[in-house]
């Protein structure tokens, strides 16, 4: 079987267009313009690119952008004070603190300071708890994007074996919760898992979120599986150039899978689209 490509770029653009239309209607009917504050501390080059893309998407969706780019020597207390002001600002419906934070800060403390109702990243323990207990809240954007991509291929994933490789709070754990909520039979595998190839080979749905280039081999993929590759790894290419590759050995995996996401152009664009959707949701619920 040669896999169909799941086009995250097109699906992300379609979702962003729907959000933009909803934003237009929200402004017209209730006079509310959803607003997102993006907080970046320091000058990590990858984070600067991510933040620029997020702020561009905010403007394109017709939302209000509140950028806060702070120097690397900002103290944690100064950052907490800014978050306090954003929590109190009625024009700000969503707050995103770009990670990683400088090593001088404790990310857990900073993320806990964000009002859970404005936590459009879904990283606050209150939102993690709501997700784990199957109650409405704000779920993290990359896992939401993964689910939309899976549902594009399989609208009723109920009963399927889903294997998530990776157990981060940002992707692995929340995507496992969303798959469970969709009635999949869920396994979370990680760096200490024994017989990882065998675990992967049972997956009707495989979500790879380990952050290691092409660690998941094509030969581990079950025939006809849906493969969602969350990895974005920069690697050296012949000729001294660099390129992006996922966590899955794409060329071999696509010969076995039913559908697979490319890197880039798979999960990445969905993350930003889901951030826009979460910001709209936060604005509607205020
Ligand atoms: N750094 C890498 N991914 C993310 C994300 O989804 N949200 C935030 N805030 N920071 C990140």
Which phi and psi angles does 122 have, rounded to 5°? 70, 30
pLDDT in tens, 46-80: 999 999 999 999 999 999 999 999 999 999 999 99
Cα 61 to middle of ligand 1, angstroms: 20
CATH of domain 31-115: 3.40.50.10860
So where are the chain's domains? Answer: 31-115, 141-267
- For residues 143 and 207, what is the distance between their CA atoms, to the nearest angstrom? 10
Q: Concatenated DSSP letters for 33-74?
A: --EEEEEEES--HHHHHHHHHHHHHHHHTT-EEEEEEE-TT-
Asked whether 258 and 1 are in contact (CB, 8 A), the reply is yes
Q: What's the whole-number mean pLDDT along residues 150-159?
A: 98
Nearest protein CA to atom 9 of ligand 1, as residue? 98
Q: Which of 22, 119, 121, 204 is catalytic?
A: 121
pLDDT in tens, 113-139: 999 999 999 999 999 999 999 999 999
Q: Establish whether 281 is a catalytic residue.
A: no
* Residues forming a β-bridge with 187: 163
Assign 240 a pLDDT band (cuts: 50, 70, 90).
Answer: confident
Nearest protein CA to atom 1 of ligand 1, as residue? 99
Q: What's the whole-number mean pLDDT along residues 208-220?
A: 97
Cα dist from 38 to 141, 165, 196, whole Å: 14, 29, 37
Asked, colleague to colleague, whether 31-115 and 141-267 share their fold, the answer is yes
Q: pTM to 2 decimals?
A: 0.97
pLDDT of res. 249: 98
**pLDDT of 279 strictly over 90:** yes
Q: Establish whether 54 is a catalytic residue.
A: yes
| Ligand 1 first shell, C-beta below 6 A | 96-99, 121, 141-142, 170
Q: Concatenated DSSP letters for 174-195?
A: HHHHHHHHTT-EEEEE-TT-TT
Is the domain spanning 141-267 CATH 3.40.50.720? The answer is yes
């Amino acid at each position: 079987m040669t896999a169909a490509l799941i086009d995250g770029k097109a699906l992300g653009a379609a979702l962003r267009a729907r959000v933009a239309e909803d934003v237009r209607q929200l402004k017209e009917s209730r006079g509310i313009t959803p607003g997102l504050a993006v907080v970046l501390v320091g000058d990590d080059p990858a984070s600067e690119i991510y933040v620029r893309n997020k702020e561009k998407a905010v403007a394109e969706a017709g939302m209000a952008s509140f950028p806060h780019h702070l120097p690397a020597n900002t103290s944690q207390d100064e950052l907490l004070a800014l978050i306090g002001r954003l929590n109190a600002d009625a024009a700000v419906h969503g707050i995103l603190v770009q990670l990683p934070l400088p090593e001088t800060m404790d990310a857990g403390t900073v993320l806990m300071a964000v009002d859970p109702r404005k936590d459009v990243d879904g990283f606050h323990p209150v939102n993690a708890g709501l997700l784990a207990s199957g109650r409405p809240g704000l779920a993290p954007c990359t896992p939401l994007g993964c689910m939309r991509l899976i549902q594009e291929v399989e609208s009723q994933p109920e009963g399927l074996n889903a294997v998530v490789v990776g157990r981060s709070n940002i992707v692995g754990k929340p995507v496992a919760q969303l798959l469970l909520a969709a009635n999949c039979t869920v396994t979370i595998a990680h760096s200490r898992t024994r017989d990882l190839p065998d675990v992967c080979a049972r997956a009707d749905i495989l979500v790879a979120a380990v952050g290691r280039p092409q660690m998941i081999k094509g030969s581990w993929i079950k025939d006809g599986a849906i493969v969602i590759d969350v990895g974005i790894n920069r690697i050296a290419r012949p000729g001294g150039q660099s390129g992006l590759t996922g966590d899955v050995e794409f060329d071999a995996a696509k010969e076995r899978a039913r559908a697979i996401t490319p890197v880039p152009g798979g999960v990445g664009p969905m993350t930003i689209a889901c951030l826009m959707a979460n910001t709209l949701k936060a604005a509607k619920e205020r």
